[in-house]
Amino acid sequence: MQEQAKSQKILLEEARNTVIARTATSYLELAMVRHSLELLRKQQESAERILGVTQEREKENLELPVAVTKDQLTKARVVQRILQLEGREDELEVFLRSQTGLPENTALEVAPEDLPGSAEQEGANLLAMALQDNASLRVAESDVRAREFRLVGEKRGYYPTLQLVSVYSLLANFNNYDQFFKTFQRHNLNAGVQVQVPLFSAQTKANVALAQVNLDVARTALANKKNEVSAAVRLKTRRLRERDAAKEVARLELQLAQQNVTVLQSQFGEGKVNLRDVERARLDENEKWMAYLDANFQRQQAQVDLLQTAGQLDKVWQ
């Protein structure tokens, strides 16, 4: 029963870690969404300027109507994405207020940031920590210990038992005991020893066999759980490395787009390119910015997932 009580405490810790993971991920996503909205609103302004230039050129018979339609479609897509992200922003704000117990009218201020430095762990270290701190693994270990205690208890059914027995009686005069016994005492105390020696007990044998089977099942479940946790940590470690690589690719693409905007702005000042080319380059830069923000959030999400599997999530924020 004590081991089962420990298991319940471990499950409570796991529920707490789940709340931490969901809240942290939502906070990081809200920061990403708000940053993306800022970029999209700038992108909307660029799309409007591009559309204005194209419409003017169409009036001068320098552009076909299809070019205007393409620019209108670009602007409409930007507006659609803004509306989608505004809806997601509202959902995340409602969720974070409910998780933190903040009033409905409280403004939420978030800032883009990385997880604490202690969240960075090598794969080998995380694997060792997971085998020690993973909640489901600790529950399985507690279950094995509980079944070991049960088996020991059932085996003790084969041992003789010794009981001290005592009975105290208070006899009443109106029962006429004094007329039937030569000596009569109202207060009586009987004490003795009761010894039971089991010679054959089918029930005890069956209980021991059942306890042994349950213990074997628990040990097998524990071994399987260790394999599952080990595989999960390795998988999520590889996934985190993939997210790192994706973030680096997105960063370089953003850097390239920013350099391209710088070049076009310089050429625009020299009269070599028009405003529409510059604005289109800015649209591409904003797209690369949003791709970088998304790649960074995906990496943070994978990191939180890995830390939760390793049982280190609550320690990061201690």
Question: What is the per-residue pLDDT for 317?
Answer: 65
At 78-88, the pLDDT tens digits run 999 999 999 99
The model carries a pTM of 0.74
Residue 84: which residues within 8 A CB-CB, separation 6 or more? Answer: none
According to DSSP, residue 156 is labeled G
CA distance 109 to 44: 24
Question: What is the per-residue pLDDT for 107?
Answer: 84
Q: Would you say 130 and 315 are in contact if contact means Cβ atoms under 8 Å apart?
A: no
Rounded percentage of the chain residues whose pLDDT exceeds 70:
93
CA distance 110 to 207: 59
What's the average model confidence in pLDDT over 176-189?
74
CA distance 113 to 32: 10
Average pLDDT of the residues of the chain: 87
Tell me which residue of 156, 154, 142, 309 sits closest to 218, measured CA to CA: 142
Question: What is the per-residue pLDDT for 62?
Answer: 83
3-state helix, strand, coil in the chain (%, to 5): 75, 5, 15
Question: What is the per-residue pLDDT for 284?
Answer: 92
Question: What is the per-residue pLDDT for 159?
Answer: 86
At 203-260, the pLDDT tens digits run 888 989 999 999 999 999 999 999 988 898 889 889 989 999 999 999 999 999 999 9
At 110-169, the pLDDT tens digits run 877 766 655 565 556 777 888 888 888 889 999 999 999 999 988 888 888 889 999 998
C-alpha count within 13 angstroms, C-beta hemisphere, residue 82: 15
